[in-house]
Structure 1
């Protein structure tokens, strides 16, 4: 991680790694936690493989859904790591995403209490990193990580 270019979120999720992985790789599960509440998420495409598309929409009130993420998976190491970027869209075309272009690396590691979950979001320059931080990176990615934890932990109690 490069502090002048990258932002990160870490959390121990009290659920097995396979459960956290499924929450990321199953379309219906991802829709339950991927955008900050109270917004709603619709997953249009989740092709979790290198080169696969990652397309989501969001709605503030459950009515009209607007574009949220149009990205491509770069690396998928089952149960260990997912890397995606929004700098290339799901059709493999160069993109100029709003608010910033980024590449996110999500890692899943065993932890005595469940899963050591880490996200590093990489930016092309310090200005993009600063913009993402100013727009609420910590609150946005922090809240969806908390939602993921709540979802995965509740899946384990069923």
Structure 2
């Protein structure tokens, strides 16, 4: 269930199997190809897709230095159906105050006649955090990486 005052959502049909989309989320080499908006590049430092596992990435320009991007913990992992992670708890299981906003993201995959129904719900602790994330370009950013994910698997 989503709360429009606290949550941001994105939905897309990806013309590939759930297994292919799942591999793009769970294989570090595939994940690095789509996780940050191009032309930036992603370095995957840790991708341990299991409850309590780490999601740690860095972002950079091609050939340039990398800076921290995401330090998060997976909360729920249901094979080929759902991934939930939060950056409010870092990969060492310590409370975090991430910039620009703390969030919990839920990714769900479901069968669709044309491939996979891909749904993202990003939950925030209060309306100000949700609004800040929206103004910072949630739809552009998550929309871009979702399109890149689709390009990798389709």
Same fold by TM (over 0.5)?
A: yes
Matched, 1:108 2:112: no
Shift of 1:61: 3.5
CA deviations over 1:4-32 (Å, ceiling 9, x no partner) = 00001100000000000000000000000
Contact 1:40 1:62 in 2 (8 A): no
How many pairs were matched up?
153
Structure 2 counterpart of 1:17: 18
Distance 2:126 2:153 in 1: 34
- Over the aligned positions, Cα root-mean-square deviation in angstroms equals 0.5
Structure 1 counterpart of 2:122: 121
SS at match of 2:23: helix
Shift of 1:60: 2.7
CA deviations over 1:80-112 (Å, ceiling 9, x no partner) = 000000000000000000000000000000000
Contact 1:102 1:121 in 2 (8 A): yes
Shift of 1:50: 0.2
Distance 2:41 2:21 in 1: 20
Distance 1:61 1:127 in 2: 34
Residue ranges of structure 1 left out of the alignment (5+ in a row): 154-158
Structure 1 counterpart of 2:148: 147
Distance 1:132 1:104 in 2: 13
Structure 2 counterpart of 1:156: none
SS at match of 1:31: helix
- TM-score when normalising by structure 1: 0.96
Distance 2:16 2:149 in 1: 10
Residue ranges of structure 2 left out of the alignment (5+ in a row): none
Shift of 1:73: 0.1
Distance 1:27 1:60 in 2: 18
Deviates more, 1:14-23 or 1:61-70: 61-70
CA deviations over 1:37-62 (Å, ceiling 9, x no partner) = 00000000000000000000000343
Distance 2:44 2:84 in 1: 18
